[in-house]
């Protein structure tokens, strides 16, 4: 048995339980938006961001009651971003994690509202009393999430991605796009653990450096899997960047150099964990998993 795989499965289960509790099925006609929120947030997925939150918080012995709520909030944000990105006016995707996307299963209006509802609920969870006894911590969790995912973060990254259809990006521009579009929420996941754990300045710094390298490695492998992966195994349409003529790390560097780069970044990420000694093992295992994964 691979103990990292067990740990990842356990955290996926905890995250699902938390999401199930935090998004209760409703009654009345508004139940439709709650169904669509549950459909999108409880659709499986690797739960890498929840693992980052919980493993980072574990470094500082934060109670799991706190870190599981924050992990669920981060996963809600991830689900909202997928629901909106999949819309016909955006990337127009029909399939996600092997199932119809939210607007295909429900309709476009419901998908827009489900995304809005998930984003809003994430802030409700972070700011809620049960997340942490100190208002200071709850406010910082909400503030840093908003910074990570707004027009200067994830939302801006998706805008860049849409605009990129019009002109060729170079490696510098692709890196910036990915830092905003996927890197910012990955970084926040680690930062949230540090906020909950009232980490010291150098600890925050090392965790941020880890998240930075991990986020880029994750994206490079994502691009590789989009080229090399199998749609059935991936549970989503593959080869779409190439079809859209979009520059990616792989189209710019070639698959071999791209994979080499991802491995270097994962090694670097692991080095940043040295100050945490064996407590950093789970985050280190995750960095290895990210570059080895097949989907």
Residue among 225, 181, 223, 214 nearest 280 (CA): 214
Among 1, 27, 29, 256, binds a second copy (CB under 8 A): 29
In the complex with a second copy, the residue whose CB is nearer, 138 or 259, is 138
Site for a second copy in 75-134 (CB under 8 A): 84, 87, 89-90, 107-110, 112-113, 115-117, 119-121, 123-124, 126-128, 134
Shortest Cβ 125–a second copy spacing (Å): 8
99-100 and 95-96 as β-strands: parallel, antiparallel, unpaired? Answer: antiparallel
C-alpha 70/C-alpha 215 separation (Å) is 19
In the complex with a second copy, the residue whose CB is nearer, 38 or 272, is 38
If binding is defined by CB under 8 A, does position 149 make contact with a second copy?
yes
In the complex with a second copy, the residue whose CB is nearer, 35 or 263, is 35
The mark string for 229-268 relative to a second copy (x by CB under 8 A, - otherwise) is: ----------------------------------------
DSSP-derived 3-state class of residue 100: strand
C-alpha triplet 37, 40, 43: angle, nearest 5°:
135
C-alpha triplet 75, 195, 14: angle, nearest 5°:
35
Shortest Cβ 198–a second copy spacing (Å): 13
Shortest Cβ 17–a second copy spacing (Å): 20
If binding is defined by CB under 8 A, does position 171 make contact with a second copy?
no
In the complex with a second copy, the residue whose CB is nearer, 62 or 149, is 149
If binding is defined by CB under 8 A, does position 25 make contact with a second copy?
no
Shortest Cβ 170–a second copy spacing (Å): 13
C-alpha 50/C-alpha 7 separation (Å) is 12
Q: What number of CA atoms fall less than 13 Å from residue 130's CA on the CB side?
A: 11
Residue among 105, 56, 46 nearest 78 (CA): 46
Please report the sign of the dihedral spanned by the C-alpha atoms of residue 41, residue 47, residue 53, residue 59: positive
E strands, 179-294, where? none
In the complex with a second copy, the residue whose CB is nearer, 67 or 284, is 67
Compute φ and ψ for 95, nearest 5 degrees: -125, 140
Compute φ and ψ for 99, nearest 5 degrees: -125, 165
Residues with Cβ < 8 Å from 107, sequence gap 6 or more?
none
Residue among 114, 146, 112, 110 nearest 127 (CA): 146
Radius of gyration of the chain from its Cα atoms, rounded to whole angstroms? 18
- Give how many residues touch a second copy by CB under 8 A: 55
Among 15, 40, 101, 158, binds a second copy (CB under 8 A): 158
Among 163, 171, 200, 231, binds a second copy (CB under 8 A): 163
If binding is defined by CB under 8 A, does position 197 make contact with a second copy?
no
Shortest Cβ 63–a second copy spacing (Å): 18
Interface contacts to a second copy, rule CB under 8 A: 26, 28-30, 32-34, 37, 84, 87, 89-90, 107-110, 112-113, 115-117, 119-121, 123-124, 126-128, 134-140, 142-143, 145-147, 149-152, 155-160, 162-164, 180
């Amino acid at each position: 048995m691979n103990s990292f795989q067990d740990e990842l499965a356990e955290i996926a289960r905890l995250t699902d339980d938390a999401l199930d509790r935090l998004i209760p099925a409703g009654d009345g006609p508004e139940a439709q938006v709650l169904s669509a929120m549950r459909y999108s947030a409880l659709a499986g997925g690797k739960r890498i961001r929840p693992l980052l939150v919980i493993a980072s918080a574990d470094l500082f012995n934060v109670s799991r009651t706190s870190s599981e709520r924050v992990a669920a909030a981060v996963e809600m944000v991830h689900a909202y971003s997928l629901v909106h990105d999949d819309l016909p006016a955006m990337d127009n995707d029909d399939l996600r994690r092997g199932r119809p996307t939210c607007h295909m299963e429900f309709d476009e209006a419901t998908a827009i509202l489900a995304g809005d509802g998930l984003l809003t609920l994430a802030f409700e969870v972070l700011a809620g009393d049960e997340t942490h006894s100190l208002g200071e911590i709850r406010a910082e969790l909400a503030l840093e999430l908003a910074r990570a995912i707004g027009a200067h973060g994830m939302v801006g990254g998706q805008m860049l991605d849409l605009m990129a259809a019009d002109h060729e990006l170079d490696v510098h521009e692709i890196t910036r796009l990915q830092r905003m579009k996927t890197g910012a929420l990955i970084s926040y996941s680690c930062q949230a653990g540090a906020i909950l754990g009232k980490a010291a300045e150098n600890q925050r710094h090392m965790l941020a450096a880890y998240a930075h390298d991990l986020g880029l490695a994750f994206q490079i492998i994502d691009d590789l899997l989009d080229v090399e992966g199998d749609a059935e195994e991936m549970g989503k349409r593959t080869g779409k960047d190439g079809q859209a003529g979009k520059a990616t790390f792989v189209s710019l560097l070639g698959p071999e150099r791209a994979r080499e780069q991802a491995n270097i970044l994962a090694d670097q990420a692991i080095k940043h964990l040295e100050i945490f000694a064996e407590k950093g093992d789970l985050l280190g295992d995750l960095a290895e998993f990210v570059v080895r994964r097949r989907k």
